[in-house]
Structure 1
Amino acid sequence: MGQGWDGGGEDLPARQAALEEKNRLRKEFGARLRVLLDLTGLSSRQFEARYPAYKDSTVRKYTSGKSLPPWDFLHDLLTEVARRTDDPAAPQRRTELFTVYRTVLVAIGADVRGSDQNSLLLRLLDGEETLHRIREELAEVRARENQLLADLEEARREDASPAAQQRQRRLEEETRVLAQRRGELVRHRTVLVTELDDCRARLAVLEEADRPGDLVPTGTGGGAGVHQPFFPPLPPAPPAPSTEPPKSRGGRRALRLIGIAAAVVLLAGGGAAAGIWATGDRDTGDHAASPSPPTTPPASTTPSPTSPAPTTAEASSAAPSSAEPDATRWTGHGVALTNLNLDAVPPKVLSSNNKASVWTSYNGEDEATLYGMNGGFFTVEPTIATWDEQTKPDRQACADRISTNATEDLPVTSGARFCVTTVEGRIAYIEVEKMDKALAAYTATITVWEESTGASS
């Protein structure tokens, strides 16, 4: 018995040193977040007013290093920094932040197979990166499918020569292979989104309980268990078709691989790239948490995402069972332009801009900016475009406008019109109505189309 006690005593200094090292890593990462919050020009209370998903007290826990934040917070914080600063090193800053974040999580004992709070944070980080890659490949597959449909139409108009018929069969085979690949990606995405939602729900419970970040049991119901791999690998790509894909596809794939390789190099280097960051000396203070916005509103406020989006639906509340080109999924007016999921029927107001098809930032009484889908681990292509023709567009016209004139943000004014790509790849048209003073937001008439024949939601 005495020997056991002595052995435990000998382990105590080592355990204490390990705990101190974990606390040090969390505080250093919190200092990085405090620098970023300073760059936004917002206090923790003002950040809560803009992003109600994060309480003032929670933001201060993150910036003081008492606990590590989830992926969503880092994403929203970087989005706010990008809005307010002209930083040419912004992509490098984003990559470095997430690389150091993962390094810290692993260093303090997080494991993608674990179920403690830090492991859940790591699972959420890796899952969002995987989800972004799936969405990126889905966009490539759908773009190629659209091109193949046009090529098939052209081939069918050609003469009935053996060469033309052979080309048509080749195009039909590639279309079949791509449709199969798209189905695999959509199924994988559905499973992954469910896992990520479960992960966020577990983290919310732990955050609400104000538990410490180390070795907190979360139960085994739902999601991945302790002994299960959390995220299955992406389904293998189909064999290459007999025709060469467009050069742009190979170029984009190469750029994505280069970006991932750069992140791996940064990860291997650990904190070597930390020289870009200043730690800052400002103290955010230990103010009491408040669930409501401050009495004096910040310079830039966002309408409460919990407010329902007033709509007058003119289409069926459910998606058609068989989607045809230009088939309307949903249309309605009086929709408040906030953080909108346009794939829901009717459109759903989200608590933050994460997973939003479009979101609107309000910087004054009637000054607002419309943004498209947020980037994931790496930046994605813009997904919104202005529609300036006199006539209302159909689905294809809007899709063409986005493919040729998409941008990252656009000013919102009464009468402005936009074409939008949703998170699930649908096309939507937004026609701004007016500023609703009661909602402190612009309202709009929105039409969401189903995908073209053969596409899957």
Structure 2
Amino acid sequence: MSGPFPGPGGGHVSDNAFHGSANVQAGGANFQNINHYPPPSRSVWPAVGGVLSVVLAAAAGALLVALKFGDDPDDRGGGQAREPAPASVPALAPGTSGPAAAPRTTPPSTPPAPRTGTEDAADRVQWTGTLRITEEGPRLDERPPVKYSYLRDVWLAQTDPAVLQGSDWSVNSTNLALWQGSTAPTRKDCAELVSTQGIDQVEVGRGTVVCVRTMYGRTAVLTVVSVSSSLRQGVLAEARVWSETETPETF
């Protein structure tokens, strides 16, 4: 900076030749103050940056706290978060030290299904179906029954009237019995009837029920469906043969 400087001899000051915090150039009736500060040292800038970072972080934290608790009516007085209320504890039964157990629900018991005769081993059915009785048998112990010309459990002896003949495998061929009950016989009914009232032949017609003991001691029941005048066509019957065996007849 330069300017006129009145005084003896006149002259000008073109540059500031003084250094310091306050430099004064004076003369005559005028004076000029020139303040000259040296540039800050490079080591000052990192410190300034650190201070600014701390200030900004503190301001951001204060702003987050204000946003978190500013709208909570319970925190307006103290400005601190409240701990959550503890969960309710179930009541304890007298004499217990742990949580009360939930009451047990006992499922309703299912009554057992009623038993039927076919569920018993003695009344298990070996075979049931329709068969034709001719002069060739059949043998009822086979499953299904088969025809033979000998060792027959029951066979057609004549057709008019139709007569069923008992076994030819025993000298005592009284293995037939006529059932006259109003309901179908059970295995036990037929077995007892043949044992007490067994005969060697029986005249039959449509609807006749005949109990039979087989060669191997099984019990069967025959219900006549139709009768033919031919020995080859024979008698058609619904048959049931039980699995249970009893002492068979001797030869």
TM-score (norm 1): 0.26
Bigger proportion of residues as strand: 2
Bigger proportion of residues as helix: 1
Query: Relative contact order (alpha carbons < 8 A, sep ≥ 6): 1 or 2 greater?
Result: 1
Bigger Rg, which one: 2
